[in-house]
Amino acid sequence: DNKDAVAKLRVDERQGAAWEKESPQQMYEFSAEDHRIYASIAADKKTGQVQYASLQLNTDQKAQPAKVAKDRAFATARNFLEKYASPSTTLLEWTDFTYKESELPAWVDKSKLPEGFTEHQPREYNFFFYETYEGIPIMDRTYHISVDNQTGNITSFSLATPKDKLDLPDSKNIITKDQALEAFLKNKSPKLQYVWPQYFDQRAPAPILVYAWDYSEGFGYVDALTGEYIIVPSDWDEE
């Protein structure tokens, strides 16, 4: 039970990073004496509003079939949002995110994988919601809620910071998807690369030749109004 777990928590002493001093959020971390329960909270420094919280229970139990149906978990997440979403929120779009166990490559020796790797799978339903305008998601206004599939309790949430109403561009006079794709490929064509696949400490028998995107110059996008390709430089080399 989450209440029993929370009762065992104590505040952790932490040395905040330099960037946290400028952040509008204050971070708090908690753990149980046996370090099997962790929690973290982020609150707005000015208002005290909790904008993120997470509770993690580290157990030795193997993954169990879900006891709580997904639609019931979704109802829990939806009811939570109806109460705590930003007052400026009018429309939300739900994005389904379901964990699917991927099939391992044929060259992976399962007996050499880390102990317990295949036994401990996520035990939460994850629900993502986006604020929308004219049916278009606003990507920096997102909500994430995790619901335990064994208990039906919320184990973590992240709320979009309350903001004023945005003056968003009109989506009527935009280029088509085909025009955007043409502009993208004109500026960002796939590049031939030799890749040697690796899974944990195991490698494929030999390298393979693939076409893949080259992001060495940064990531890019196509302006839907002008059709211009815009590069966002990477900051990998920054200190």
pLDDT single digits (tens) 11-59: 665 556 666 777 888 888 888 777 677 888 888 888 888 888 888 776 6
Task: Answer yes or no: is 165 within a domain.
Answer: no
| Closest by Cα among 81, 231, 226, 224 to 159 | 81
Q: Which domain, by its residues, includes 94?
A: 2-158
Instruction: Tell me how crowded residue 137 is: count the other CB atoms within 10 A of its CB.
Output: 17
pLDDT of res. 3: 59
Task: Answer yes or no: is 170 within a domain.
Answer: no
Give the chain's domain count: 2
Last residue of some domain: 96, 128, 158?
Answer: 158
Last residue of some domain: 107, 128, 158?
Answer: 158
* 6 membership: H or E segment, kind and range: helix 2-7
Cβ(27)–Cβ(14) under 8 Å? Answer: yes
- Dihedral class, residue 98 (left if φ above 0, else alpha if ψ from -120 to 50, else beta): beta
pLDDT of res. 17: 67
**Shared domain check, 185 and 143:** no
**Shared domain check, 140 and 25:** yes
Cβ(155)–Cβ(146) under 8 Å? Answer: yes
How confident is residue 198, by pLDDT bands cut at 50, 70 and 90? very high
Greater pLDDT, 168 or 166: 168
Amino acid at the residue 208 = I
**Shared domain check, 110 and 187:** no
**Shared domain check, 211 and 131:** no
Q: Which residue has the tokens 């815009």?
A: 230
Instruction: State the Cα–Cα distance between residues 155 and 145, nearest whole angstrom.
Output: 8
Cβ(108)–Cβ(202) under 8 Å? Answer: yes
pLDDT of res. 24: 80
Cβ(147)–Cβ(68) under 8 Å? Answer: yes
pLDDT of res. 224: 96
Q: What is the DSSP letter of 101?
A: P
Task: Answer yes or no: is 237 within a domain.
Answer: no
